[in-house]
Structure 1
Amino acid sequence: MTRLTIRRYPDTALKTPAERVTEFGADLQHLADDLFETMKAAPGIGITAPHCGISKRLTVIELPEIGGQRDYVNPEILWASEDVMTQTEGSVSMPGMTEEVTRPRAVRIRYQTLDGTVNEEALEGFAAVCMQHEIDQLDGIFWVQKLSRLKRERLLKKWEKAAR
């Protein structure tokens, strides 16, 4: 396994929608393994290929709520609840920065496994929030875009100051 370089906000790779995965096999498995190693070293609980500058719709998440490490290829939200929850979020591409984000409490997703098998899954609570966060990233939506203008501006000033 190889530890990949994580792109830092505002890298353009974080703003560009990722390309759909069409080829499954050993290369995709290696990429998922590399992403997992990179995520653990960051540290983080989720990472996407675009976080490392790779335009593929692949995310790796590790949570007890979903049984540990899981790989999601081409994930998409099929349904989201009207009931919402607020959770502190951050990103491996913006280490040390966090803020509260409000998202739907439950989602139903469709995704493929590393071998191309199509699955659907219902997620609730923290796992649902994490999945929405990662799917947004695959769509080129960085998590700070979910903040109010005031919170986003305050956080970005803090980020710029930390980057100096």
Structure 2
Amino acid sequence: MAIRKIVMYPAEVLEKNCRPVEKFDRKLAKLLDDMYDTMIEHDGVGLAAPQIGIDERIAIVDIDDEYGTIEMINPCIINTSGEQTGPEGCLSFPDLFGEVTRPNYVKIEAFDRKGKKFTLEAEEFLARAIQHEIDHLDGVLFTSKVSRYLEEDELKGVESE
């Protein structure tokens, strides 16, 4: 396992629509392990491949709940509903936080590291984190969705995605 360098904004890879993963092999498994280690090292709750300079549709989320680490390869959003507004941060934008409105519920389809398709439904903070990471794979940055930036004293307990 290795800690990878986080790509900071502005970097072209952060604003690209990423390529689909075609090979589910040991190299992919190692990349997912490295992404997890990198996310934990930087106190994140999610990480997308472009954030470590890789132009592929790979993202992970771990918000310390019953789901554990969710690995999403070639994820796509099938359905959303409801609305939530809350603070978001991003490892590629250190010390920048803003209020973002997203659907409160999301249903996705993705593949795991072995190439097995799965469906996942999530609500609230987990739904927010999943949507944030999938946005990265589409070249969409959370800053394009911020309704208002937050000051440091408004950030008690906010985690970066």
Answer yes or no: is 1:129 the counterpart of 2:95.
Answer: no
What residue in structure 2 maps to residue 44 of structure 1? 44
What amino acid sits opposite 1:133 in the alignment? H
Preserved contact between residue 18 and residue 55 of structure 1 (Cα < 8 Å)? yes
Higher RCO structure (Cα 8 Å, ≥6 apart): 2
Partner of 1:96: helix, strand, or coil? strand
Q: How does 1:2-151 map to 2 (within 5 A)?
A: 2-81=2-81, 83-148=82-147, 151=148
Preserved contact between residue 66 and residue 127 of structure 1 (Cα < 8 Å)? no
Partner of 1:107: helix, strand, or coil? strand
Shift of 1:140: 0.3
Residues in 1 aligned to 2:19 and 2:109: alpha-carbon distance in whole angstroms:
16
State the Cα RMSD in Å: 1.5
What amino acid sits opposite 1:145 in the alignment? S
Cα displacement string for residues 25-69 of structure 1 (whole angstroms, at most 9, x for unaligned residues): 111000001111111111211001100110111111112335221
What amino acid sits opposite 1:39 in the alignment? M
What amino acid sits opposite 2:91 in the alignment? V
Normalized per residue, the structure richer in helix is: 1
What residue in structure 2 maps to residue 160 of structure 1? none
Partner of 1:68: helix, strand, or coil? coil
Aligned pairs, number: 151
55-64 vs 108-117, greater mean Cα deviation? 55-64
Structure 1 vs Structure 2: percent identity of aligned residues?
Answer: 34
State the TM-score, normalizing by the size of structure 2.
0.89
Shift of 1:70: 1.8
- Which contiguous aligned blocks of 4+ residues in structure 1 show a shift greater than 4 angstroms? none
135-144 vs 66-75, greater mean Cα deviation? 66-75
Residues in 1 aligned to 2:3 and 2:105: alpha-carbon distance in whole angstroms:
32
Partner of 1:95: helix, strand, or coil? strand
What amino acid sits opposite 2:126 in the alignment? A
84-93 vs 62-71, greater mean Cα deviation? 62-71
Gaps of 5+ in 1: 156-164
State the TM-score, normalizing by the size of structure 1.
0.87
Preserved contact between residue 107 and residue 128 of structure 1 (Cα < 8 Å)? yes
